[in-house]
Amino acid sequence: EIVLTQSPATLSLSPGERATLSCRASQTVSSYLAWYQQKPGQAPRLLIYDTSNRVTDIPARFSGSGSGTDFTLTISSLEPEDFAVYYCHQRYTGYTFGPGTKVDIK
């Protein structure tokens, strides 16, 4: 099973700051990686798929990059509604999620 590791576990930032979230796979997932956002009491929302493709209606401040085993989700300037938990997800071999990164307000 491919294990996804996310870092940091918690990211404390202020609105307007840049957020950089990391996801590392235990073996290559090629470009088959996605990012989800989840707010308390809500279902997850798909933000980015196939490493860098933004879903329709997702703001341009969200971007994804990487390949193979190392991936990054960047939020260029945090808005108040961006404080949430972010999960990476691979479907290259089986399907697994990372443990999540919580982005909270500093």
| CB-CB contact of 8 with 63 (8 Å) | no
Out of 7, 30, 61, 99, the residue judged to bind another protein by CB under 8 A? 99
Binding of residue 100 to another protein (CB under 8 A): yes
| CB-CB contact of 89 with 35 (8 Å) | yes
- From 11-19, 20-28, 67-75, 87-95, give the range in contact with another protein by CB under 8 A: 87-95
Looking at residue 55, the DSSP 8-state letter turns out to be P
Q: Which residues bind another protein (CB under 8 A)?
A: 1, 32, 34, 36, 38, 42-46, 49-50, 55, 87, 89, 91, 94-100
